[in-house]
Amino acid sequence: MAQKLAHSRINALKKGTLSEALDVKGSGSLIFERRISGILVYLSLRRDGKQERLKLGSYTDRPLTDWRTYAAARSLEVRGFSTIEDYQNAQSERQRTAQRAANLEARQGTFAQLLDAYVEDMERRGKTSAKEVRGALKLNVLTPFPELSARKAKEVEPGDIAELLRHCLNRPAASKGRGVRLTTANATNGKKRQADKLRSYLQAAFSFGLANDLNPLRAGDAVQYGLKFNPARDVPTIEGANQANTWALTKDELRAAVLAVEDLPERRRAIAKAMLYLAGQRVEMLCRVTWQDLYDDGEHGPVMRLLDLKGGKGTPPREHLLPMVERLGEILAPLLALESEGKAPGPFSLRGKVTIAPGTALDIFQGLGERLAGEGKARRFTWRNMRATIETHLAALGVNQERRAWLLSHGRSGVQAKHYDRWSYLPEKRADLDRWARYLDDLVGVVPAGNVVQLRGRV
């Protein structure tokens, strides 16, 4: 066995070099060389009659025994190449590859970043549901699961998605001044529906992430997600989630609801009655109405213009016109009076300053549903049930499916309906709104006052 150098001898080296052969024959030697900066360590190999050196580092970096082990390992690697230069080139390439992988890993977004980017994309595309989606993701994912949210998006598994849905089904109801209570998930209280909507939001978010990584227009240094599959894709839909849409209030229950509206404060009452007498228009559309959307079109009289933003990517807003029949003028009178004050941007305002939020308008009917259910006058209902009720009762009045679609701005299908039919159907809508208003008034024994509210010409 070759003689071993002692640490004291190496440390005392003032100039020149010291060498020590490695244990395995042909594996080379350790070279210790004194420099101004200190003692440097090299691996020395002789191959094909040439002496080559590979710098290993500074002697103070590790103990002598570790240098022997380290040098032997490097020697084994180097001997797999024709020259040390080839070995160094291969090492450099490995380092560059590792660095690229590290950079990619650093740019790969977290689950929270993916969800945020998905909602921001919805906002850029003008999707009306963006606010609802952001709230649902915050309530059911980001707030209750901070560790999962901080995980890389590519690490989220189907089991994690299932856990999120279980939480949504079983979490206590959010407190709104009525206490926090734990209720069993069912179609009536909306928990199953909310969980299924959450599942669809998550599936859409991961689909967005997959498309984002493959988008050639994406900046090269932008956040990537490294997704290989959609973990929400194979999670089954929530059984019974849509049953809440299939039932409608009976005539007696509807009568109780319309009478209960009369007990609300003036503006809240006016908004709730408008929602009813306008035949159940989507709340988001009503909350977008401004004073400029109320005008006389010259041919059909006073109208209210709503913008329907539902549709696929790139679908422009669709104008949905409703005739302001005489009874609607009476009902909206307290709200239309706000225009003279010059503060509210539109008629649907509770305090005369800002437009009512869709969630606040929905809460009016949720509160009524809970109150009437507690009094035994109706099943617990929400505005979703009320919309189903209105369409059901319209059908009972003889308003056919096509006319209900015109009145409620349901989606149009077919090339002719989607691209060529631009008629507003105001005469038909006027007849059906008049019929619906008389139905509600007869239901509760109301005699309209006959006041007509004049609306200015179009701006």
Asked whether residue 172 is domain-assigned, the answer is: yes
Q: Looking at the structure, do residues 381 and 290 belong to the same domain, yes or no?
A: yes
Q: How confident is the model at residue 242, as a pLDDT?
A: 61
Q: Looking at the structure, do residues 196 and 257 belong to the same domain, yes or no?
A: no
Question: How many domains is the chain built from?
Answer: 3
Q: Looking at the structure, do residues 297 and 419 belong to the same domain, yes or no?
A: yes
The 8-class DSSP code of residue 245 comes to: G
Q: Looking at the structure, do residues 396 and 342 belong to the same domain, yes or no?
A: yes
User: Rounded to whole angstroms, how far apart are CA atoms 454 and 301?
Assistant: 10
Q: Looking at the structure, do residues 301 and 216 belong to the same domain, yes or no?
A: no
User: Rounded to whole angstroms, how far apart are CA atoms 358 and 383?
Assistant: 11
Asked whether residue 458 is domain-assigned, the answer is: no
Q: Looking at the structure, do residues 12 and 52 belong to the same domain, yes or no?
A: yes
Q: Looking at the structure, do residues 78 and 127 belong to the same domain, yes or no?
A: no
CATH number at residue 50: 3.30.160.390
Q: Which of 455, 440, 449, 227 is nearest to 337 (CA)?
A: 455
Asked whether residue 338 is domain-assigned, the answer is: yes
Asked whether residue 456 is domain-assigned, the answer is: no
| Structural domain boundaries enclosing 188 | 111-244
CB atoms within 10 A of CB 402: 12
Token duo for residue 10: 């190496």
Q: How confident is the model at residue 159, as a pLDDT?
A: 94
CATH number at residue 268: 1.10.443.10
List CB contacts of 127: < 8 A, sequence separation 6 or more.
309
List CB contacts of 15: < 8 A, sequence separation 6 or more.
34
Q: What's the one-letter identity of residue 248?
A: A
List CB contacts of 112: < 8 A, sequence separation 6 or more.
142, 149, 150
CB 262 within 8 A of CB 364: no
User: Rounded to whole angstroms, how far apart are CA atoms 412 and 421?
Assistant: 10
Q: How confident is the model at residue 248, as a pLDDT?
A: 92
User: Rounded to whole angstroms, how far apart are CA atoms 76 and 79?
Assistant: 5
Asked whether residue 457 is domain-assigned, the answer is: no
Domain boundary among 244, 275, 309: 244
The SS3 call for residue 208 is: helix
Asked whether residue 345 is domain-assigned, the answer is: yes
CB 376 within 8 A of CB 317: no
Backbone φ/ψ region at 111: left (φ over 0), alpha (ψ -120 to 50), beta: alpha
The SS3 call for residue 32 is: strand
Please report, for residues 155, 195, 206, 221, 240, the alpha-carbon distance to residue 228 in angstroms, rounded to integers and kept in the order given. Answer: 10, 25, 10, 19, 31
Q: Looking at the structure, do residues 28 and 160 belong to the same domain, yes or no?
A: no
List CB contacts of 277: < 8 A, sequence separation 6 or more.
327, 328, 331, 433, 436, 437, 440
User: Rounded to whole angstroms, how far apart are CA atoms 294 and 305?
Assistant: 6
Tens digit of each residue's pLDDT, the chain (459 residues): 567 899 999 999 999 999 999 988 888 999 999 999 899 999 999 887 788 899 999 999 999 999 999 999 999 998 888 888 888 888 888 888 777 766 665 567 899 999 999 999 999 888 878 888 999 999 999 999 999 999 999 999 999 999 999 999 888 765 444 444 444 444 444 688 889 999 999 999 999 999 987 777 665 556 788 899 999 998 988 876 665 456 899 999 999 999 999 999 999 999 999 999 999 999 999 999 999 999 998 888 899 999 887 655 556 678 899 999 899 999 999 999 998 888 889 999 998 889 999 989 999 999 999 999 999 999 999 999 999 999 999 999 999 999 999 999 875 544 334 443 346 789 999 999 999 999 999 999 876 555 444 444 433
Domain boundary among 72, 106, 140: 106
Q: How confident is the model at residue 246, as a pLDDT?
A: 64
Q: How confident is the model at residue 449, as a pLDDT?
A: 56
Domain boundary among 83, 106, 129: 106
pTM for this structure? 0.56
CATH number at residue 129: 1.10.150.130
Q: How confident is the model at residue 387, as a pLDDT?
A: 94
Q: Looking at the structure, do residues 163 and 297 belong to the same domain, yes or no?
A: no
Asked whether residue 292 is domain-assigned, the answer is: yes
- Which helix (H) or strand (E) segment is 21 a member of? strand 17-21
The SS3 call for residue 320 is: strand
Asked whether residue 459 is domain-assigned, the answer is: no
Q: Looking at the structure, do residues 85 and 185 belong to the same domain, yes or no?
A: no
Q: Looking at the structure, do residues 87 and 152 belong to the same domain, yes or no?
A: no
Q: Looking at the structure, do residues 251 and 390 belong to the same domain, yes or no?
A: yes
Q: What are 448-452's contacts with CB under 8 Å, separation 24+? A: 448/326, 448/327, 448/330, 449/330, 450/326, 450/330, 451/329, 451/330, 451/333, 452/326, 452/329
